[in-house]
Amino acid sequence: MTGLLERLHEEPTLMRRAQGLLTILWVVMIPLALATGWVKSVTFVSALSLWALVASHGAWWAAASVECRQAEEDIPAEVVEEIVEETDVEESTV
């Protein structure tokens, strides 16, 4: 189980697939819960609340990890430096 969690943290594609699968599961559960009367159950509402909490924290973590990777790579600065090197800028006389 620890290996799977480590892979989820390291591989964004796998994390996105897992989150998508769990989201689809909960979307399917809503009509099922309405049909069976689980919506009136405190246990079901608690589980739904916990899922919302976990999903929001997972999304926050994924966004933060992307920002950290972007900060480490600093691609925009490299692109700007390359453009400046390749471009001749002359003063215009208007």
* Tens digits of residue pLDDT in 17-31: 877 888 888 888 888
Q: What share of the chain is helix, strand, coil (3-state, %, to 5)?
A: 85, 0, 15
CA dist., res. 80 & res. 89, Å (int):
14
Q: Rounded to two decimals, what is the model's pTM?
A: 0.47
In a domain, 91, yes or no: no
In a domain, 50, yes or no: yes
Which segments in the chain show pLDDT lower than 70? 1, 4-5, 8-9, 71, 74, 89, 94
In a domain, 93, yes or no: no
Q: Which domain holds residue 26?
A: 2-86
At 9 the pLDDT is 66
At 64 the pLDDT is 75
At 77 the pLDDT is 74
In a domain, 92, yes or no: no
DSSP category for residue 37: T
CA dist., res. 30 & res. 36, Å (int):
10
- The total number of structural domains in the chain stands at 1
